[in-house]
């Protein structure tokens, strides 16, 4: 077995990426503190051709060296917007027929592996602050909460890891639809 060289990976250019059909998935970053987490989420969004990222509240936005360090250029390929208020954005998305789910531990949450997405309408996933999670006011407004099953002694995952797991599950379901 031989590792592939970068030239063998058939990567698309940023221009070609912009023209690709995107997965109908929006990511909403609700007051994410860590610029490394933001960059990592951009990179994962690029890998799975996510429609767009919304950076809300205190979430930093490109260009920033700390975001670039982990995004490795994905801030140029993935569309993004900044919004002051996650709550206002969620209201707007819902008004535009987007199904909005918080990735959060909550009463009546649905485990990610039991969630079935309907891609007749776009989906948005809200990821919360590393300490406080998704704002309760946002949780009150979303169409549901999705929880990632966990079995160890810790009851939380890094937000960029949570995003990667959730994006992968949505991508797998989208590929089958």
The count of structural domains within the chain is 1
Low-confidence spans in the chain with pLDDT less than 70: none
Question: What is the pLDDT, as a whole number, of residue 72?
Answer: 95
Domain assignment present for 155: yes
Structural domain that includes position 86:
13-176
Question: What is the pLDDT, as a whole number, of residue 28?
Answer: 99
Domain assignment present for 2: no
Domain assignment present for 5: no
Domain assignment present for 96: yes
Domain assignment present for 52: yes
Question: What is the pLDDT, as a whole number, of residue 25?
Answer: 98
For residue 41, the domain's CATH number is 3.40.1280.10
Half-sphere exposure of 56 (CA within 13 A, CB side): 23
Give the tens place of pLDDT for each residue, 57-104.
Answer: 999 999 999 999 999 999 999 999 999 999 999 999 999 999 999 999
Domain assignment present for 6: no
Residues 23, 118 contacting (CB under 8 angstroms): no
Tell me, rounded to whole angstroms, the distance of Cα 104 from its chain centroid: 13
Residue 104 CA to residue 27 CA, distance in Å, equals 14
Start-to-end CA span in the chain (Å): 33
Average pLDDT along the chain: 97
């Amino acid at each position: 077995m031989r590792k592939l060289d970068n030239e063998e990976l058939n990567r698309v250019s940023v221009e070609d990426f912009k023209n690709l059909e995107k997965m109908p998935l929006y990511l909403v970053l609700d007051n994410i503190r860590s610029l490394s987490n933001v960059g990592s989420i951009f990179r994962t969004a690029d890998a799975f051709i996510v429609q767009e990222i919304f950076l809300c509240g205190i979430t930093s936005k490109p260009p920033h060296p700390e975001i670039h360090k982990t995004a490795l250029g994905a801030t140029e390929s993935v569309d993004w917007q900044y919004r002051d208020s996650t709550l206002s954005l969620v209201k707007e998305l819902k008004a535009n027929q987007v199904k909005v789910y918080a990735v959060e531990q909550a009463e009546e949450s649905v485990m990610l592996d039991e969630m079935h997405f309907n891609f007749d309408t776009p989906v948005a996933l809200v990821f919360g602050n590393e300490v406080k999670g998704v704002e309760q006011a946002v949780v009150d407004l979303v169409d549901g909460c999705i929880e990632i099953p966990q079995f160890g002694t810790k009851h939380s995952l890094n937000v960029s890891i949570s995003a990667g797991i959730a994006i992968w599950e949505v991508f797998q379901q989208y590929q089958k639809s």
